[in-house]
Structure 1
């Protein structure tokens, strides 16, 4: 697989995403459903935003690992949240995770009216190898 990052500017670097990702000669694509802070027993978390963001990342990791992909191959990662202001108070968790794995992904952050039950954040990824 060939992965090319397109960034006509530098300002997005501080926000932990890229403007576009071009993928050539890929073998397969994994489309991940939105992963939120849902426990193994199916119960939605009632934790705060930081706790739910950590749990959402852990659930996304589990799906990607189970499928046999690597985090660095995430090409698109959309974030849905019930409060962008609240998410930005713990955005360091997300940015540290992105940096740790060398992920260079196109992203969109959307504030939504609500998510399922008590959920506050959901991560939706496309992973390509």
Structure 2
């Protein structure tokens, strides 16, 4: 098995993790770290705006997938964490708008959490992809 780090930005390396890893074997798989509403320097964006945070977290997930020559259509599992599950569910149409046109409906887990890694973050999404 071979592993290749995928880091569109370098800020996470300072914290000791890759944004994702490509694992080569009988299939290519990508295990993505949780993506949130942060900019390219890892600074939280859109305080108190769940919808904007979901949109940016999805943008960041797409950037990580693209770094591995994959797309949302290659996602085979999602883990979603939200500080307010009801508010997240009100905005899940954003996931449908991204995954629906790709005819991709990966298995998903949504968990309510008391907080995320950085103050102000409301939503985090992690993914496993295979191609």
Q: Same fold (TM over 0.5)?
A: yes
**C-alpha separation in 1, matches of 2:129 and 2:98:** 16
Higher-RCO chain (CA-CA 8 Å, sequence separation at least 6): 1
User: What is the alpha-carbon distance in structure 1 between the residues aligned to residue 41 and residue 48 of structure 2?
Assistant: 16
Unpaired runs of at least 5, structure 1: 1-24
Show the counterpart of 1:42: 42
Distance in 1 between residues matched to 2:103 and 2:61, nearest whole Å: 16
Greater mean deviation of Cα atoms: 76-85 or 64-73: 64-73
- The alpha-carbon deviation at position 101 of structure 1 amounts to 2.2
Question: Is 1:97–2:98 an aligned residue pair?
Answer: yes
Per the TM alignment, residue 26 of structure 1 is displaced from its structure 2 partner at its CA by 4.7
Q: Is the Cα contact below 8 Å between 1:26 and 1:128 reproduced in 2?
A: no
Please state how far the C-alpha of 1:49 moved relative to its aligned partner.
Answer: 0.2
Q: Give the secondary structure class of the aligned counterpart of 1:124.
A: strand
- Shift, 1:94, TM fit: 1.4
Displacement of 1:118 in angstroms is 0.8
SS in 1 for 2:100: helix
Instruction: Please report how far the alpha carbon of residue 47 of structure 1 lies from its aligned counterpart in structure 2 after TM superposition.
Output: 4.7
- By how many angstroms is 1:41 displaced? 2.2
4+ runs deviating over 4 angstroms? none
Alignment correspondent of 2:56: 55
Q: Normalising by structure 2, report the TM-score.
A: 0.75
Q: Which residue of 2 aligns with 1:121?
A: 123
Aligned pairs for 1:58-97 (under 5 A) are 58-97=59-98
Aligned to 1:33: 33
In the alignment, which residue of structure 1 is the partner of 2:4? none
TM-score by length of 1: 0.76
> Please, what is the CA RMSD of the aligned residues?
1.4
